[in-house]
Structure 1
């Protein structure tokens, strides 16, 4: 069928002998591109109407595959036009080589699109906004890190395959293979930062010392893991600042992860009071505060005297919450309501300094008074 189309097109082109061959070739290629874009536009509008009333996934799927399909249709149309247009051998070789590079790029683009679609389908089962989102954070972190690593590898392979279509680059690759020892060392040193981050990303995805939305303390700052890319991690601090750290930081340096095994946390509140404080009443008051607070998860509430100091004793109050944010708010609430209760009901329980004053004997005071008078007269 393509041979018949080509013969028919050549007959039409031969009738237009008054046009130069380069103009005919240009018009042929432009017509092929225009026809391909028109066909793609019609198909895309039809498919878009079909999925208009479906959920967001299908609409985003059609929108994301539009680019690769457009490039594929244009490449196919140009490959047919290259056989029809009156091109010279050199021009046809250049065009076919460009189409080959475009086909390699199309394969890479399609692989990236397929990777994104698979990740989206896989992650639809997990919701980060759930109350207990530990399992969701685990799978989302793994999927996103591995997707970025796989995307980086796909881009590297695609660019390498496109470059190998050029004879000069291919000969350079053969020469590199001939001196594999020195070349491998040089390439390894040059790509060390990239390879280090790639392997660090794979290790983070497998071992998962951190996950998305984990509450961590890094460099003395408290915050939540907001984003994990293929090269760095973004930590959203409590005051909305962002701390950007390399992936290797979480493999080489110590840090605190408050939500490693569970999102629930136990918050501790320390208070220093006088020895006269009624501990049992204070314990009962802490239970009342916890039960009336919407931040308490109903699991842990405890009060203990943990230490004695010279003038005060140390009282530790423990309360639990479902996540780090609620635990912080609950601790603040316990501090505020407990100190208000102590000030109102037991003000003598607050820290005080005791001083004992003893009166000196009367005759001793007179002797000291006379000594002072004699010293003044002298």
Structure 2
């Protein structure tokens, strides 16, 4: 009984001392680390795990040195083994907390609330995936170390190793889909094919990558729905990534109008519209006739915006404005079907709308940039080289 009491008192005293020491260290770290992000993260995320690990370790040492080997050896060995398991688990928790603190400190250097955040989102995606992998590895190693403390497990270790190959093959075949998703998640994280907050089009839905794990990807659809897809989907199925290289994107608004539409006037109206809205980023504003078959022509307005959300609103604004402009200022250019009955010479007043006289015809060398997508401006020239290729110098075939 005396041995039991000594052990209990020693364990309580060791736990109290450990708690006091940890609390003092915590207060000093919080006071000194007001201007240090690393120390602040340590006080917030690693305090509880450090407290548990220090307490369990102190109790384990107190029990070990306060009891003799001859006195109560059976319960002593059982208690010490239990404390060893607790120390292993608490240490793993502390290591995982320290890794999370380091990862959070590294992520704080890369801001994602800025317009050009592609590099920051890439780093954030990789760090989040590494965090999940490290936590899984720490848990597996902790369970393995805890099992190795049992003599029976160490005794059958040789048999387990000899059958590990067969078990591994069976497990791989049984978990083929799961392992495929895990490796696909790692591939996505480090191949830079998709990142957190990327704007993508998958399964005909436009949305943003909200969560990226080792087994599945959550896409937040524009109407706040969530599309859950396995990670292997993004390695085996084509999808659109609008922010692969930069957040700025291009968008179109198409119109089917009558042949009598004054294209240059419509082009100038588009320019006035985009210059008066903050949604346009000032890069691209082009209006072109892309088709002229049948009874109508197809006019396409191509505009640019700083991000996908602004582009959506800008495209809707362009449609609304130009539809109203055609209706109010060019009603004869509205889509219509013609059926001519009567004088085939076209001399009746309702058969032809007299064209408006313009002040001066624009020369070919004075074609505005709004009429050209590939060329006519620095951005257009760069786009032409990207899609067509740089101009090649003609070679003399006689050489």
TM over 0.5: yes
What displacement does 1:110 show?
2.9
1:80 aligns with 2:61: yes
Q: Which of 308, 312, 334 in structure 1 is aligned with 2:292?
A: 308
Number of aligned pairs?
340
1:121 aligns with 2:102: no
**What whole-Å deviation, never above 9, does each CA across 1:36-62 have from its counterpart, x for those lacking one?**
2233234323433333x4366532321
Q: Which of 18, 21, 36 in structure 2 is aligned with 1:39?
A: 21
Question: 1:245 maps to which residue?
Answer: 229
The residue matched to 1:300 in structure 2 has which SS?
strand
Asked if 2 retains the 8 angstrom alpha-carbon contact of 1:36 and 1:74, the reply is: yes
The 10-residue stretch of structure 1 (64-73 or 344-353) with the greater mean CA deviation from structure 2: 64-73
- In structure 1, distance between residues paired with 2:139 and 2:176: 17
Higher helix share: 1
1:48 aligns with 2:25: no
- In structure 2, distance between residues paired with 1:115 and 1:44: 18
Q: Which of 71, 84, 94 in structure 2 is aligned with 1:100?
A: 84
Q: Specify whether residues 80 and 161 from structure 1 end up closer, same or farther in structure 2 by C-alpha distance, changes over 3 A only.
A: closer
Q: Which of 195, 199, 207 in structure 2 is aligned with 1:211?
A: 195
Q: Which runs of structure 2 are paired with 1:169-248 in the superposition (5 Å)? A: 169-189=153-173, 192=176, 194-248=178-232
Q: Give the gaps of 5 or more residues in structure 1.
A: 1-18, 360-378
What displacement does 1:21 show?
4.2
The 10-residue stretch of structure 1 (169-178 or 295-304) with the greater mean CA deviation from structure 2: 169-178
What displacement does 1:81 show?
1.7
Question: 2:121 maps to which residue?
Answer: 137
1:68 aligns with 2:43: no
What displacement does 1:101 show?
1.8
- In structure 1, distance between residues paired with 2:152 and 2:172: 22
- In structure 2, distance between residues paired with 1:93 and 1:196: 44
Question: 1:350 maps to which residue?
Answer: 334
Question: 1:297 maps to which residue?
Answer: 281
Question: 2:271 maps to which residue?
Answer: 287
Question: 1:337 maps to which residue?
Answer: 321
TM-score w.r.t. structure 1 length? 0.83
The 10-residue stretch of structure 1 (232-241 or 147-156) with the greater mean CA deviation from structure 2: 147-156
Question: 1:326 maps to which residue?
Answer: 310
Asked if 1 retains the 8 angstrom alpha-carbon contact of 2:197 and 2:209, the reply is: yes
Asked if 1 retains the 8 angstrom alpha-carbon contact of 2:207 and 2:220, the reply is: yes
- In structure 2, distance between residues paired with 1:132 and 1:194: 35
Asked if 2 retains the 8 angstrom alpha-carbon contact of 1:79 and 1:96, the reply is: yes
What displacement does 1:102 show?
2.4
Q: Deviation above 4 Å: which 4+ runs of structure 1? A: 190-194
Asked if 2 retains the 8 angstrom alpha-carbon contact of 1:149 and 1:201, the reply is: no
Asked if 2 retains the 8 angstrom alpha-carbon contact of 1:149 and 1:198, the reply is: no
The residue matched to 1:131 in structure 2 has which SS?
coil
- In structure 2, distance between residues paired with 1:61 and 1:194: 35
Asked if 2 retains the 8 angstrom alpha-carbon contact of 1:29 and 1:85, the reply is: no
Asked if 1 retains the 8 angstrom alpha-carbon contact of 2:38 and 2:102, the reply is: no
**What whole-Å deviation, never above 9, does each CA across 1:106-145 have from its counterpart, x for those lacking one?**
3322332232122222222211111111111121112211
What displacement does 1:171 show?
3.2
Q: Give the gaps of 5 or more residues in structure 2.
A: 344-399
Asked if 2 retains the 8 angstrom alpha-carbon contact of 1:145 and 1:205, the reply is: yes
- In structure 2, distance between residues paired with 1:69 and 1:190: 39
Aligned-CA RMSD value:
2.2
What displacement does 1:91 show?
1.9
The 10-residue stretch of structure 1 (222-231 or 183-192) with the greater mean CA deviation from structure 2: 183-192
Q: Specify whether residues 172 and 244 from structure 1 end up closer, same or farther in structure 2 by C-alpha distance, changes over 3 A only.
A: farther
